Amino acid sequence: MYREMPKMKWLGSVMALSIMALGSSAYAEKSPGKYCETASRCMDPMVTNGAVTSPNYLASQAGLEVLRKGGNAIDAAIAVASTMTVVYPQMTTLGGDNFWIIYNAKTKEVRALNASGRSGSKATIDFYTSKGYQKIPSRGYLSANTVPGAVSGWDAAYRYGQQSMKKGMSWNSLFGNAINYAQNGFAVSTSLARWEAINVDPSDKEFRDLQRFDGFRQTYLKPDGSAYKTGEVLKLPELAATLKTVAKGGADAFYRGPIAKKIVAEIEANGGVLTLDDFAKHQANWVKPLSVNYRGYTAWNLPPNTQGMSSLGILNVLNNFDLKSMGEGSADYYHTVVEATKQVFADRDKWLTDPDFVKIPVDELLSVEHGKAQAARIQMDKAQTNVKPLDPKGDTVWIGVVDKDGNAVSLIQSIYFDFGSAIVPKGTGVLMQNRGSFFSLDKNHVNHLEPHKRTFHTLNAALLTKDGKAFMVYGTMGGEGQPQTQAAIATRVVDFGMTPQDAVAAPRWLHGRTWGAASNDLKIEGRVSKEVVEELAKRGQPVKVVDDYTDTMGHAGAIMIDPVTNVRWVATDPRGDGAAVGY
């Protein structure tokens, strides 16, 4: 078992909260949830001003510090995200991508930002097949074939916040914590130590044995080549210098200045495909967010090239079922959501890629009629094993922030596999992602490799609004688990009235694969009753019981804004190293 941790593991610590403002809403009257052992383990942090949740306690504190100093939600999200690139490199770095959903409390608008990188100009199918590859390598220089978009996302979001929200903090002031931890060191978390140990396995030359890459070994391992252990201090001086450059020179310093030059020089010297021109031409894009109605709430997410349409598609199908009468945690509940997921994933796998290259019928795929047709195919007594898409008619961190003015950010940032490509160009400290390894080398595949193309992205960030106001930001890491965990959180809060913390901590499941590893079973946490597991198996679900609290299910979080009291209910995941904080 990974580890079982109390839900409010940071509640009593000095870092936690200036807290506990109870309101007179239905949520404030709730008793401990069904998955909690004692009231102290069930209590959501409740705050009246700003709130932050992330998968790392140091990063959450960085965001809280910005909110206390008058920064807006976007400012705080950048502080959290930049700190995460230092203290949580197994999941996110400066060399990764990010996506944003932003709620502007002043204008009542929802904005979506796609800051994922495109493939290099030299990245072609012929380039790889001429070298004898049948698939793009999972690690190494040839897996780092897309421009990292994260810094461009911070830049675009920051500019929007300064223009359209209450003016917050200066750009360079947002990186103080990240620079400090990189330069002076930080205590290695349980998650980081665990993933380092996994990735120095010399027997797996395709996915592990990352010490074979000089940059990774010199940056993230001890001088003797061994992995750091929990509580040992790790310093990243080259990354500190890069962060100082970004803090001073902004996104231009990263994409058109000394950082890009160092990254490209090493990649080109090792036969890679990224060029200075690829970096210079990169930009994040504001895109139209997708939405569906769910029980009177509006669920928002990101359009392709993300699988946000899958997260919304599941809710669109579930609209046709009375989940409340089934009972949360029942066999019917799990079966219905899993079967809805299968229907939606069939559509996703047929269509999802860069919409600049393929016309994707998103409106039809999320239509009420399509959701009804998918729901009609679900058999309550039998699991489907080979779901075909209906033709429509006509490794990662999630960060949530709500500021005192009600602006809200749902941000997800990733490098794909744990530690991405494992390439850290000398003199930068920037660990490059391997997201582009997900491109297909089959020219007939919808997501086949082409130059300047954005690949199929599992990343997606979620938001619920009610009557034009932000109700809940929520999300998770975990590949194919993201839409499923989002469905779990949304249905548990909306259909069953659970608090966000209980919804996040409750047992989860995973149909499909995570971190790029193929899997045909239905993983379900061991806290689900034996009777429910047996009933699911009886219906044909290929159930595999896993640990009670496993990070295979991802590190989720949520912040709910009580519509009556305006109190923020903040949740973090007991499966990770996170903290839910506020004031």
Known binding-site residue numbers: 479
Alpha carbon distance 31, 460 (integer Å): 32
As annotated, the binding site for L-glutamate includes: 479
Alpha carbon distance 64, 135 (integer Å): 43
What's the burial of 38, exposed, middle or buried (CB within 10 Å: 0-12/13-18/19+)? exposed
Amino acid 125 reads: I
Amino acid 210 reads: L
Strands 509-511 and 469-476, how do they pair? unpaired
What does each C-alpha distance from 50 to 60, 261, 442, 455 come to in angstroms? 12, 39, 48, 35
Do residues 284 and 156 lie in contact, with contact meaning Cβ atoms separated by under 8 Å?
yes
Give the count of beta carbons closer than 10 Å to the beta carbon of residue 457.
Answer: 24
Residues 6 or more apart whose CB falls under 8 angstroms from that of 5 comprise: 549, 574, 575
Closest Cα partner for 503 from 574, 439, 561, 552? 574
Buried b / exposed e across 170-191, counting CB within 10 Å, b at 16+? Answer: ebeebbbbbbbbbbeebebbbb
Closest Cα partner for 423 from 554, 298, 262, 282? 262
Exactly one of 83, 85, 219, 396 is catalytic; which is it? 396
Amino acid 545 reads: V
Closest Cα partner for 526 from 551, 511, 544? 544
485 is catalytic: no
Do residues 378 and 336 lie in contact, with contact meaning Cβ atoms separated by under 8 Å?
yes
Active site residues: 396
